[in-house]
Amino acid sequence: MQSVYYIDHTFVKENSTQYILSIRYSTDGLSFCIHDHNNKLLVFFYQPFSLDTKDAVIAKVKKIIVDEEVLNLKYKKVYILPCNKEKILLPAHAFSKEYLTDMYRVCLQPEKNDTLLYRKVKIMESYIVEALPRNFVNFLSTRYQSLCIVNSAYPFIVNSLSNILFNTNHLFIDIHDQYFDLLLTRSNEVLLFNSFTYGSVPDIIYYALNCMKQCNVSKENLQTTLSGNLVNDPTFRDKIGQYIPNITIADYPPLSLLVKQHELNTSCFIHLLSMHKCE
């Protein structure tokens, strides 16, 4: 995808303290959006890049934040959404600040200079926990006063669970550059949430079918919602549709009209655009 920079004519820099800023970054690019108090989209920005390491991505994100004028304004609220595969979900009844590091290390190993960040997912009574470099968290904290840093899986989970149907099995898949998040539900019960690295479409299909098998979910009465990378590719949809039924694509068509790029895969930004409504 090409770079995009849309600014609505009603955007006023001097009114930034009334606006909400959301920033999403991953190995394949950075995007941000600004909404007013009426949820109107005032600004949308996307800059693609291709980086392999966490350090390189963070260095790029810092540079864009420093260089981009509108990212240096004061805002009512600022959300930062890292797209990191490494995170865990802890049930609220098991969550403990005192033992958080120990619980995280059961599944993942944080680096020496990392700090753990957590956010409650109220809709499923769980906490999402991830590790980020302490100096990066400090960098963001000094620039933005009303700051919330939470993994991009947070709006994915909230949006998904807000759209489930009772008496129905539902498979949600959000595809990123190098990994995808998967959420499997039965009625209002969360059966499984996990993240998987993939190298090809068959990898996504394999993991999805395996998760369904482990949770005893049949293809009958299954609704599937896909979002993120690849979903605007007809070949991808045809291939995954051979194995997984009843597929719906979560996207935001009005964005293409606003930015006047009809080839833009708006599904990549759907959770960024809705983050401010997930609280």
**Per-residue model confidence (pLDDT) at position 259:** 81
- pTM, full prediction: 0.95
Lowest pLDDT segment from 9-13, 56-60, 161-165, 182-186: 161-165
Confidence of residue 163 (pLDDT cuts 50, 70, 90): confident
Question: Tell me, what amino acid is at 24?
Answer: R
Residue-wise pLDDT tens digits, 1-45 = 689 999 999 999 999 999 999 999 999 999 999 999 999 999 999
Average pLDDT, the chain: 95
**Per-residue model confidence (pLDDT) at position 58:** 97
Confidence of residue 56 (pLDDT cuts 50, 70, 90): very high
Cβ neighbours of residue 61 closer than 8 Å, sequence gap 6 or more:
25, 30
**Per-residue model confidence (pLDDT) at position 21:** 98
Mean pLDDT in residue range 42-59: 96
Question: Tell me, what amino acid is at 129?
Answer: V
H runs (alpha helix) in 229-268: 234-241, 253-259
**Per-residue model confidence (pLDDT) at position 212:** 97
* Tokens matching residue 101: 């590091």
Mean pLDDT in residue range 95-108: 95
Pairwise CA distance, residues 47 & 17, whole Å: 24
Residue-wise pLDDT tens digits, 197-230 = 999 999 999 999 999 999 999 998 899 999 999 9
Mean pLDDT in residue range 185-206: 95
Pairwise CA distance, residues 44 & 33, whole Å: 4
**């709006």: which residue's tokens?**
155
Query: Which runs of E-coded beta strand occur in 55-175?
Result: 77-82, 87-91, 114-121, 126-133, 147-149, 169-175
pLDDT at 257 over 90: no
Mean pLDDT in residue range 246-251: 94
Do residues 265 and 1 lie in contact, with contact meaning Cβ atoms separated by under 8 Å?
A: yes
Pairwise CA distance, residues 248 & 84, whole Å: 24
pLDDT at 262 over 70: no
